[in-house]
């Protein structure tokens, strides 16, 4: 068939023109084949763009996150911002790539879009960002899973110790917060 000849020759524009004139050729299949070719040639940006056009945002995000080419963060966040909240698997995948790469601001944006306060809290606790973790815990009380309860327990214990210290006017021992894994930011 003529379409296969155009595809084999990587003449994508001619293949698209031919496909538009024929009713029995699926243009999304043609775009997907072009995306696969771009992926084979290591053009991650073009491959991701084509997969998005073909309606495969998860595959696009995986390519972006695995390749981590120049400006991958901004390319991925545009997908996050434009994709509906119902695309949970895509958004979770993006959040995972951002968290693994320590792109905290982007990860935070993803987790907030998902209303996944547990993942956001987990990231803040791992980073020992206690002020933001406390603020998040106060704003979204009761919206966390069991993993986050450890943070709440430690936070309550620190508050009680701080209150007790202030009541008896005792100076803070040098480094007592760091010995229990907490520091002020």
Structural domain includes residue 149: no
Whole-Å CA distances, 150 to 79, 102, 143, 163: 34, 22, 14, 20
Instruction: State the CB neighbour count (10 A cutoff) for residue 102.
Output: 11
pLDDT tens sequence across 169-184: 555 555 555 555 555 5
The pLDDT score that the predictor gives to residue 160 is 77
Hey, what are 80's tokens?
Answer: 């996050």
Structural domain for 29, as ranges: 1-83
Report yes or no on 100 lying in a domain.
Answer: no
3-state secondary structure of 115: coil
pLDDT in tens, 8-47: 545 556 555 555 556 666 666 666 777 776 777 788 888 8
3-state secondary structure 57-101: HHHHHHHHHHHCCCCHHHHHHHHHHHCCCCCHHHHHHHHHHHHHC
Domain membership flag for residue 25: yes
Examine residue 156 and state whether it is found in any structural domain, yes or no.
no
The 8-class DSSP code of residue 40 comes to: H
Q: Please report whether residue 78 resides in a domain.
A: yes
Q: Which residue has the higher pLDDT, 86 or 33?
A: 86
Q: How confident is the model at residue 94 (pLDDT cuts 50, 70, 90)?
A: very high
Does 148 map to a domain? no
Q: Global pTM?
A: 0.66
The structural domain count of the chain equals 1
**Within-domain flag for 71:** yes
107 assigned to some structural domain: no
Q: Is the alpha carbon torsion for 37, 42, 45, 48 positive or negative?
A: positive
pLDDT value of residue 31? 67
Quote the CA–CA distance of 130 and 108 in Å, as a whole number. 15
């Amino acid at each position: 068939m003529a379409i296969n000849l155009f595809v084999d020759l990587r003449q994508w524009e001619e293949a698209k023109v031919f496909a538009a004139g024929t009713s029995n050729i699926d243009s999304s299949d043609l775009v997907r084949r072009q995306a696969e070719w771009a992926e084979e040639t290591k053009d991650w940006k073009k491959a991701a763009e084509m997969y998005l056009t073909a309606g495969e945002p998860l595959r696009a995000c995986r390519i972006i996150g695995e390749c981590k080419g120049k400006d991958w963060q901004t390319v991925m966040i545009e997908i996050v911002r434009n994709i509906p909240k119902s695309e949970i698997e895509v958004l979770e995948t993006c959040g995972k790539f951002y968290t693994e790469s320590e792109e905290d601001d982007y990860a935070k944006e993803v987790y907030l879009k998902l209303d996944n306060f547990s993942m956001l809290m987990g990231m803040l606790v791992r980073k020992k960002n206690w002020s933001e973790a406390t603020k998040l815990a106060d704003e979204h009380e009761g919206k966390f899973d069991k993993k986050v309860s450890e943070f709440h327990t430690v936070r309550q214990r620190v508050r009680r110790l701080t209150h007790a210290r202030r009541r008896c006017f005792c100076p803070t021992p040098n480094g007592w917060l760091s010995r229990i894994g907490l520091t002020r930011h």
